[in-house]
Amino acid sequence: MKRLLRIDASARTQGSISRSVADYFQVRWTESNPGGRVIVRDLARYPVPHLDAATIAAFLAPPPPSGGPPPEGLVLSDALIDELSSADHLLISSPLYNLTLPSTLKAYFDHVIRNDRTFAQVEGRYVGLLTSKSASVVTARGGVASPAAEDELQTRTLRAILAFIGVTKVDLISLDGMSGDEASRSRRIARARAEIDHLFASPGEPVCLGPFTEEDRREIGGLRAAQAAAIQRGDAEAYAALCTDDIQLLIPGHEVVSGLERFLACEAELFRSASFASFRKTPERIERSGDLAVEVGRQEVAMRRGGTAGVFAARQKYTHVFRRTAQGWRFAVLMSNAIE
């Protein structure tokens, strides 16, 4: 049974953006891990105390005899480490407080970073012991700053701490500009949710930005599959049936093909000389606005022996525009560029 350890660091138990986005991550994790268990460590409701002299002395003391009770100063630390060690994945939600992470989160790590429990010293260097774990970190801040900025001490500190105990596979979901207007904040939260969707997406599924329903996703995915099937069969009419009446085909170095009739003639001519063994698309990102959706990705083609690819390069970057019509989603613009 998979286990998720969720650690919330925001002092706000209501209205916290980092907690809200972590809620969404938890829902997606639960969907992807049926039967999995979620352990919640809420540092606002149940704060971990800062280190005191007695706890530090217990950390530095020789280990107790085998089978003997641990010193009082180690009881909480041992419990937190056991909880952390039992998890497969770690979810941390943290706001930015005064250039860095909340002190409650730092206090938590002060209790779990312990020699021979979560790290060891091997030949004069430190080695993290929790290498089987992975983590996702949700951060939120009011302003806008690059994670590469010199004063960016939040994610740098979190990554450094996690790496020190052996957790090097870390996905960062960063929300900045949260003190902006409602529309901007909503867009940024939607993008963060889309990033989370991508983490749990099956191979080949793109990051989806905008109000896509499950029916939209299914229908657009069906268009991709039908396009590949028509190209492999060399069926120009089936391909044209997937397009709008004003379809545009844009290929560098070639005249723009506009309209369904010209598109059908162009594809029929291509298929007379080209025979495709495979046509594989890897959509990377799709964004919707109203009845339009723009998708970017990569596609690869392989020719049957003796066939020519015509305008197709073996590997291409593509941009497609889908339009929602009365008949459903259709290709409205097809554009591709060869990958050097």
In sequence order, the β-bridge partners of residue 329 are 324
- Provide the sign of the torsion angle of the four alpha carbons 26, 42, 106, 90, taken in this order: negative
Three-class HEC string of 50-82: CCCHHHHHHHHCCCCCCCCCCCHHHHHHHHHHH
**Neighbouring C-beta atoms of residue 250, cutoff 10 Å:** 15
Of 152, 70, 165, nearest to 118 (Cα)? Answer: 165
Output b/e per residue, 302-334; b: 16+ Cβ within 10 A. ebeeeeeebebbeebebebbbbbeeeebbbbbb
What is the end-to-end Cα distance of the chain in Å, rounded?
A: 45
Residue among 217, 301, 230, 303 at smallest CA distance from 263: 230
Q: Which residues contact residue 150 at a Cβ distance below 8 angstroms, ignoring those fewer than 6 apart?
A: none
The response to whether 17 counts as a known ligand-binding position is yes
Query: Where do we find the tokens 């039967």?
Result: 35
Listed in order, strand segments (DSSP E) in 141-254 are 169-175, 207-209, 243-250
Q: Is 16 annotated as a binding residue?
A: yes
The set of residues, in sequence order, having a beta carbon less than 8 Å from that of 15 and lying 6+ positions away, is: none
Q: How far is CA 172 from the centre of its chain?
A: 8
Judged on CB neighbours under 10 Å (0-12, 13-18, 19+), 36 is: middle
Binding-site positions read 10, 16-18
Binding-site positions for FMN read 10, 16-18
